[in-house]
Structure 1
Amino acid sequence: MAVRRSPVTWGLVLLVVALVGLGTAVAVWWPLSGAGERIRVTATVVKPASCGKKELDQVEVTVDGKVRTVPLDGCGHRERESVDVLLPADTSGDFTVQTAGAVSDAAPLSQRLETLMLCLSGLAGGFYVYLISKPVPRLISAG
């Protein structure tokens, strides 16, 4: 005869499933911070470029207390215009800045989907272990 699970055991199983589902939702939809990756600063356009040519605007930006002139990944700004830009993590050599509105601060969709698939595979593996740990009822009677 198979051992019946008590209501408390089913309640714990449902609680674990609910917590894993909640954790998955938080992992997928919670905006992940890009701390340390990019810094938002204000730059001033010093040399605008025409969008018809393959040139980039040149902007002045303050990096570690020093004013540097770097290319802006864009064109068509006016001279002396203030633009919010994102600095890359490594500003030691030559680099190009991007306008802050052109780049998303959230994690890419592919990273969120990878997290979702990881959570779902863990849930499926846990459910599989739960299923194989149950005693198998005997279908053949002795006699």
Structure 2
Amino acid sequence: MAVPRSPVRWALVLLVAGLVGVAAAGVLWWPGTSTEVRRTTATVVEPASCGGPDAYDRVEFKVGDETRTAKLDGCGHQENEAVEVVVPDDTGGDLVQAAASTPVGMPFGTRLAVLLVCLSGLAGGLYAYLLTRRSQPTASAGAA
């Protein structure tokens, strides 16, 4: 005769499956190491043709009280054109990126992965619950 499983046991299985799903989603959602960036307006001082091997416009922008010059990750702008750029905190680099081309927020692929991990954890917990319910003997009402 099989020993029926207590409700505490299947609740523990559901709890563990749910916690593993939440932990996995938290690991995926946790932001990676990234450098802080600032948006600022830069002025194109030396435009570059987009057909050449060095197709970077040269821009000038202010960081605090200091005026800096850097290459813009783009080409085809006109001289004295104002362009919004993203400047990393470590301004030692010679390359800045146009603000319109930088991603904002978490990428869609990561959000989708987090959602799928949470759903799979929920499905695994439900499957464990169904397996424990199936293996429990049922009492017949007509036994006398």
Q: Using structure 2 for the length normalisation, give the TM-score.
A: 0.61
- 1:128-143 matches, within 5 Å, as 128-134=127-133, 136-138=136-138
Which amino acid in 2 is paired with 1:84? E
Aligned partners of 1:42, 1:106: CA distance in 2, in Å?
21
Report the Cα offset of residue 127 of structure 1: 1.4
* Greater relative CO, 1 or 2 (CA 8 Å, sep 6+): 2
Q: Who is 2:59 aligned against? A: 59
The SS at the match of 1:80 is: coil
What root-mean-square deviation, in Å, do the aligned CA atoms of Structure 1 and Structure 2 show? 3.5
Q: 1:70 to 1:124 in 2, by over 3 A?
A: same
Report the Cα offset of residue 64 of structure 1: 3.7
Q: Using structure 1 for the length normalisation, give the TM-score.
A: 0.62
Report the Cα offset of residue 42 of structure 1: 0.8
Which amino acid in 2 is paired with 1:71? K
Q: 1:132 to 1:65 in 2, by over 3 A?
A: farther
The SS at the match of 1:105 is: coil
Alignment gaps of 5+ in structure 1 = 3-23, 25-31
Work out the percentage of aligned pairs sharing the same amino acid: 47
The SS at the match of 2:119 is: helix
- 1:80-119 matches, within 5 Å, as 80-88=80-88, 90-119=89-118
Count of paired positions: 112
Aligned partners of 1:133, 1:65: CA distance in 2, in Å?
68
Aligned partners of 1:39, 1:123: CA distance in 2, in Å?
40
